[in-house]
Structures are given as structure tokens and as C-alpha cells.
Amino acid sequence: MELDTLGAWLRAVAGFNDFELALGEHGELEALLGGGDLRAHVHPLGFHGSGSWVALWRRDAQAPWRDAAVVWIDSEGSPWEAFAATPSEGLAMLALDTGALYDALSAAERVAGGAGAEDDARRAWDARTPEELANAAARYAAQREHRARLGAARLAPPANAFTVALAAIRRHGRFSAWLAERAGRGAVAEGAPAAASAAVTEKAPAKKKAPAKKKAPAKKAAGR
């Protein structure tokens, strides 16, 4: 899915989830990531009220955005990882609200780092994913339109959110590790991904619920 198609979809179903659209608004996200120009590799989609972001990520600046991963960049430092292997898959995963998405990705991050049992997490999310999808459908009126669009595009909400996120990490590698490597080369500001560097240690993050609401990043003026 190309950027313009993705953007049109997200604008058409605004309010279908608990994050605010900020398509291509790099300033606040780049500050969270520690500075440096990441525009060739990272394309913001929106932010949660906690200050966490959803964005596209591609390692190769020449690769098409339609092949980019969709990443969650948590305001508290972890997880900073892919939860979907492509933009289309990301739209399907966003049939979940961000609290469930965060929990599924946190479980996938632990398993990818060798700190969790994959079979146990898979079984847990086999049961939990349908419940979370039903919760999101009941919570957001615009989810009906979002899911209708998924069906028309021959996409479907995830059967198991954990397995989708784990597969995305395994396909694209660790976003946190990529940032730490760039920091080591001086590609982003010194000390920036302190959170990314911590993630590379493979320590499992403390379990928490959906990110606590904080003041959202200030919106930029149109056209900037």
C-alpha cells in the first residue's frame, strides 16, 4: 500500500482508534528518537495521548514505503519495535485499540529477545485477540467503517496479534537495535536512543496496561 492510499484510508476513518493522526509530522517524533534526520527511513502516522507514536520504518531508504514495517515507538522507551510487516498488515492490526496492541507487541518483544515462552504467549493471544477486537468494535464507532474497508481490500483483523507482531520483528529485525546502531555511527544525536540501547539489552519490560494518558505532542501548523 502506497503512502497516499494509506493516508487517505486513515483520514477517512478518523476516530477509529485512540491515536491522533499526524501524517508525515516529523518534529515531535524525531525529538523522541533523539534528533537527527530520519525522514528517509521513518514516516510518522500518528500519536497516542501518552506521547507514543505509530510510524512506518524502512531500513533501506530506497525501498518502497509499501514494504515498510509499522512500528510502535513508546514514550516510555519500550517497546520500540515493529508490530506489522507491511502498511496493509498494520491497518489490520489497528482493528485493535492501542492498549491491546501495546500488550501484544510487548509479549512479542520479550519472545524475540529470548525472555518469554513463545507457545505460552501464542496460546494466550489466541484467546485474547478476539476479545480485544470485540472491545475495540464496541468502543469506537468508526471501527465499523475501518473493518468494512479491510474486508473490501481482502484484509482481515488479526487472528492472533502476538504472532503477527513477532513475525514482523523477525522479518524486519529490531527497530530499537537499528536506532542504537545509527547512534553508534553518529547518525542521530549522541545519547538519543537511550531507550533503544536499553531495548537491545533484551531485558523484558515491566508489564503494564495501555499507556497512561499524558498531554499529546503539540500539533504543527498545517503545511509545516
Domain assignment of residue 210, yes or no? no
Residue 221 lies inside a defined structural domain of this protein: no
Residue numbers of the domain that contains 28:
3-200
- The verdict on residue 129 lying in a domain is yes
Which CA distances in Å does 67 have to 56, 112, 150, 172, 220?
9, 21, 18, 10, 28
pTM of the model: 0.82
Tell me whether residue 214 is in a domain.
no
Q: What is the pLDDT of residues 96-125, one digit of tens each?
A: 999 999 999 999 999 999 988 999 999 999
Contact at 8 Å (CB) between 32 and 52? no
- Percentage helix, strand, coil, to 5, in the chain? 45, 10, 45
Number of domains in the chain: 1
pLDDT per residue as tens digits for the range 54-72 = 999 999 999 999 999 999 9
Within a domain: residue 106? yes
**Confidence at residue 185, expressed as pLDDT on a 0 to 100 scale:** 64
> Residue 14 falls within a domain, yes or no?
yes
Q: Letter for the amino acid at 73?
A: I
pLDDT reading at 214 higher than 50: no
State what percent of residues in the chain have pLDDT above 90: 68
Does the residue 64 lie in any domain?
yes
In a domain, 209, yes or no: no
